[in-house]
Structure 1
């Protein structure tokens, strides 16, 4: 059975349209991540699935049933918010079981479901504590537990880790991945952090200005982006982009002062303006060249060298064996086969 299907879904606030005819299928048991910059519509789309935002037009199905205009409580979804939304006067146990209690479930059933969720989330020793006695990560686990006890068709996560510090974010990311593996549930997760998207998702949906730019697995989007936006958004550090012009034999790149023999089947006619993209991981520095070393970040096993070109463009090169600080003028080398080419006007990939 399919988890969630969106057919030509539209959202308007008055005359302002923020979601533009989205079509999407999320399979049962899939971990799908909505990712994109602030204001791209990812949280709005999630809230439409939850029923917290009215759908202006289109159709939403959950577990094979249309729910487009149903109340949130009738959709079979459970949502985990950024702000935890725990009742401060209730214990962990009471917070997790409160929704079931309000819906009239028997005490024995509530106790059993809370115990099951507590075991999964390793909250047994905290059940009698109040939220103020918990860390941020523990509070988020309680919020997730409150969703688990409802046994929903779909779990919805709206930037659940954004209030945590860096170390806790990594820890909770691993816990959510384990939770999905253990439960096999359909999960839809919203984040602006592409690292979270890459590490958690079976499927990533990249959104920009209310449109879907591309859908695919993390590695597919990394290796084969459809356009410059996706190429620049997926991957850390971001892909380097350089202006170029098609000439006989390849692409002339002023920032590098050289001709790059790009191996693209459908190379445009000479004179066409293009953008050349190379990931920092695919580049190496060499002793002499036109690029000025600005900053070198040493991060232990890897370093990042920031380079400025006379054209005003900036590059980042990953260096895994750099032990001394680079300085002065350098060049870069890379395999032309790893270069991606984009139309300078449309930003679409040239393949």
Structure 2
């Protein structure tokens, strides 16, 4: 098994640059997730690791080898795509062993490796079935099994759960997490779903417009984001933002009366700021009169209450317990100042 190191990696299509100087180290055995909105460059970067996209500038290493100019087959990687790409006329057994067969591996070795992948993925009872007789989740497991039998140094996953329904997505997330623990391989996983990122990753790389916004462990990014973009992207529901202005000694918010003192050094008076607060850190005051309950999403043990202010600003509050806010009611809201985060409105960088 091997880690992956990228040094000042750049990707251009003609005069258009889509990846901007990526410096990143993924350690041996680490589960690293690339996450970000559509068009941020996460799949392009993954394909560059695989060798399916040429690296315009910079270097790419896997283990001790510089693979920047190597063909995909020489890199020691295996890729699992969003589409299963299984041969419909072949059984599960033949699909998983086909790559080894084409490379001339002995039948006994192929049988052994397919049996091991089958054990890991719990596919024993499906070996003689063809893809048409499998569910979406089972097909994706076969696709992963095909990657396992190759014994790669690095596994690459390109949004492998996007085609599955909600229940299967949860099931396959658990399967992939279990697979990583069992085989201990280096894995790089691309998704736009931050819930997948939070539940699977050892390390999350948040990408924005082809550049790294922040790198860190899931809870590190959740609790200590460096920018408004990361704070708003990591977490479900997203962090709430209230616009305001620094007065030098305190903070005045557009949608809440009074001034707020925060445990940070405020910027110069007159500087526009955004205050971020997570839904679970806000409390609703039923006796208040600053916001209207627009919608209450009752999910069982928790509800998400959507509030709207007089100016139209929207806030989401996590509510627990048996008493839930009623749509149309007028309420107030409060939060502990130490839970709030402050961002410069212009640069969107965290004010600490």
TM-score by length of 2: 0.98
Which SS does the other structure have where 1:347 is aligned? coil
Counterpart of 1:348 in structure 2 is: 349
Which SS does the other structure have where 2:290 is aligned? strand
Q: What is the CA–CA distance in structure 2 between the aligned matches of 1:2 and 1:281, rounded to whole Å? A: 39
Q: What is the CA–CA distance in structure 2 between the aligned matches of 1:2 and 1:245, rounded to whole Å? A: 49
Q: What is the CA–CA distance in structure 2 between the aligned matches of 1:176 and 1:2, rounded to whole Å? A: 19
Offset of 1:247 from its aligned partner? 1.8
Whether the aligned pair in 2 keeps the contact of 1:60 and 1:67 (CA below 8 Å) is yes
Whether the aligned pair in 1 keeps the contact of 2:2 and 2:186 (CA below 8 Å) is no
Counterpart of 1:80 in structure 2 is: 80
Aligned length, in residue pairs: 350
User: What's the Cα RMSD here?
Assistant: 1.0
Offset of 1:267 from its aligned partner? 1.3
Q: What is the CA–CA distance in structure 2 between the aligned matches of 1:26 and 1:182, rounded to whole Å? A: 19
Counterpart of 2:163 in structure 1 is: 163
Counterpart of 1:260 in structure 2 is: 260
Whether the aligned pair in 1 keeps the contact of 2:97 and 2:146 (CA below 8 Å) is yes
Q: What is the CA–CA distance in structure 1 between the aligned matches of 2:232 and 2:248, rounded to whole Å? A: 27
1:113-134 deviation line (CA, Å, top 9, x unaligned): 0000000000011001000000
Which SS does the other structure have where 1:289 is aligned? coil
1:11-90 pair list within 5 angstroms: 11-90=11-90
Q: What is the CA–CA distance in structure 2 between the aligned matches of 1:323 and 1:88, rounded to whole Å? A: 53
- Greater CA drift, 284-293 or 245-254: 245-254
Cα pair distance change 1:140/1:57, threshold 3 Å: same
Counterpart of 2:178 in structure 1 is: 178
Whether the aligned pair in 1 keeps the contact of 2:305 and 2:325 (CA below 8 Å) is no
1:145-193 deviation line (CA, Å, top 9, x unaligned): 0000000000000000000000000000000000000111100000000
Which SS does the other structure have where 2:24 is aligned? strand
Whether the aligned pair in 1 keeps the contact of 2:2 and 2:153 (CA below 8 Å) is no
Whether the aligned pair in 1 keeps the contact of 2:12 and 2:19 (CA below 8 Å) is yes
Cα pair distance change 1:82/1:338, threshold 3 Å: same
Whether the aligned pair in 2 keeps the contact of 1:51 and 1:71 (CA below 8 Å) is yes
Counterpart of 1:275 in structure 2 is: 274
1:316-327 pair list within 5 angstroms: 316-326=316-326, 327=328
Whether the aligned pair in 2 keeps the contact of 1:225 and 1:349 (CA below 8 Å) is yes
Whether the aligned pair in 2 keeps the contact of 1:256 and 1:331 (CA below 8 Å) is no
Q: What is the CA–CA distance in structure 2 between the aligned matches of 1:303 and 1:258, rounded to whole Å? A: 28
Q: What is the CA–CA distance in structure 2 between the aligned matches of 1:144 and 1:182, rounded to whole Å? A: 14
Offset of 1:328 from its aligned partner? 2.0
Whether the aligned pair in 2 keeps the contact of 1:60 and 1:66 (CA below 8 Å) is yes
Segments ≥4 residues shifted beyond 4 Å: none
Counterpart of 1:111 in structure 2 is: 111
Whether the aligned pair in 2 keeps the contact of 1:32 and 1:203 (CA below 8 Å) is yes
Offset of 1:257 from its aligned partner? 2.0
Whether the aligned pair in 1 keeps the contact of 2:82 and 2:163 (CA below 8 Å) is yes
Q: What is the CA–CA distance in structure 2 between the aligned matches of 1:303 and 1:222, rounded to whole Å? A: 20
1:113-128 pair list within 5 angstroms: 113-128=113-128
Whether the aligned pair in 2 keeps the contact of 1:245 and 1:273 (CA below 8 Å) is yes
TM-score by length of 1: 0.98
Uncovered stretches (5+) of structure 1, i.e. residues with no partner: none
Which SS does the other structure have where 1:316 is aligned? strand
Counterpart of 2:334 in structure 1 is: 333
1:295-316 deviation line (CA, Å, top 9, x unaligned): 0110000011101112221100
Whether the aligned pair in 1 keeps the contact of 2:2 and 2:154 (CA below 8 Å) is no
Uncovered stretches (5+) of structure 2, i.e. residues with no partner: none
Offset of 1:248 from its aligned partner? 4.9
1:262-317 deviation line (CA, Å, top 9, x unaligned): 111x2112211100000001101002131111001100000111011122211000
Offset of 1:22 from its aligned partner? 0.3
